[in-house]
Amino acid sequence: MEQDKLLTLVFTFLLLCLTVIDTASDAANKGVYKVRVYSSGVPCIIVQADIYLYLTYQTSDSEKDVVVHVPTSSTADTAVSTCDTYIATAGMSVPAQLLRINLYHMAGWTIDLGFTEDKRFKTEGKEFTLFQVNVTANFSSDPSSFPNAKYPTQSYNLHIDPNNLSDLSGSIYADIGNSYYCPSEQKYAINDDVAYIKFKLTTIQAYMKSASFGPKQVCPSDENTTDLVPIIVGSALAGLIVLTLVVYLIYRTFLPEEVLNLVNPDSHFGSDSGNELSKDDILERF
């Protein structure tokens, strides 16, 4: 039994280690971008995600597709990012919060993420949504990775139409005070056929009032998987306990009775009688 207990402990420990390692590697695999209220330092936007850009750029005679992984050491541009602004777009002036990400060691590469709680974007005044994504790519920054670029820089802007929400705006939103949570990969069009953005390991919250994420609102594609994890772990542990018990009981049935009584002398005969029973007496009684 002692050995089985030990086995259960070791197994549980390994499971815990795996969970910790998994969480730690996730943390290293994504960027963290914060926009803070200038006066108080409290964040209004936190974006945690591993981001990829899928861009098509013009070359002198044709075009070329590239995939750019946003370095996880990229940072929020504190000069441009803001908790309180208006973004002029599609003939509207939209009250917004803006995060600009400067790609690490890639001069002139930026991603602008605009959030709003404006009712024109179907927020019903109680949700925030990511309504605007603009990417600026400086292909001249690295001619070996982006050969033959016709223009030194190209911009890719999400087309905005409140009457026909973009796939992205219709997907990345949450109630004010909550965070949007989506570990799985999600790829969205910025400009159909020429620019896409992919988010992974994502937690996003805008219009924040405190320093840490609110309750998670899980995206549809992760709802089932996140529910499954505790169930799987729980079942595995329960199974292991049952297995341990069964193995122990089988093991016990193979032990001669003398050994059983040696191991656990009190189990069958109360010591309250005070009588020292001889081995023969014991055998007689069964």
Ligand X SMILES: *[C@@H]1O[C@H](CO)[C@@H](O)[C@H](O)[C@H]1NC(C)=O
Q: Contact between 191 and ligand X (CB under 6 A)?
A: no
Q: Contact between 108 and ligand X (CB under 6 A)?
A: yes
Tell me whether residue 110 or residue 123 sits nearer to ligand X (CB atom).
110
Helix 220-253 and helix 2-28, axial crossing angle in degrees, nearest 10: 160
# residues near ligand X by CB under 6 A:
17
Tell me whether residue 180 or residue 188 sits nearer to ligand X (CB atom).
188
By C-alpha distance, which of 114, 111, 226 is closest to 173? 114
- Per CB under 6 A, the list member of 141, 184, 226, 261 interacting with ligand X is 141
Q: Which of residues 150-179 bind ligand X (CB under 6 A)?
A: 153, 157, 164, 166
What is the closest distance, in whole angstroms, from the C-beta atom of residue 112 to ligand X in the complex?
Answer: 4
Q: Contact between 112 and ligand X (CB under 6 A)?
A: yes
Tell me whether residue 12 or residue 89 sits nearer to ligand X (CB atom).
89
Binding part of the chain for ligand X, among 33-41, 106-114, 172-180, 245-253 by CB under 6 A, reads 106-114
Q: Contact between 97 and ligand X (CB under 6 A)?
A: no
Tell me whether residue 145 or residue 235 sits nearer to ligand X (CB atom).
145
Q: Contact between 206 and ligand X (CB under 6 A)?
A: no
Residue nearest to ligand X (CB): 108
Binding part of the chain for ligand X, among 55-63, 123-131, 132-140, 255-263 by CB under 6 A, reads 132-140
Q: Are 25 and 68 in contact (CB under 8 A)?
A: no
Q: Contact between 261 and ligand X (CB under 6 A)?
A: no
Q: Which of residues 226-255 bind ligand X (CB under 6 A)?
A: none
Q: Contact between 87 and ligand X (CB under 6 A)?
A: yes
**Cβ partners under 8 Å of residue 251, min gap 6:** none
Residue type for position 247: V
- For residue 189, with 0-12 CB atoms within 10 Å meaning exposed, 13-18 middle and 19 or more buried, which class applies? middle
Q: Contact between 145 and ligand X (CB under 6 A)?
A: no
Torsion of CA 229, 232, 235, 236, to 10 degrees: -110
Q: Contact between 98 and ligand X (CB under 6 A)?
A: yes
Interface contacts to ligand X, rule CB under 6 A: 87-89, 98, 107-108, 112, 114, 132, 134, 138, 140-141, 153, 157, 164, 166
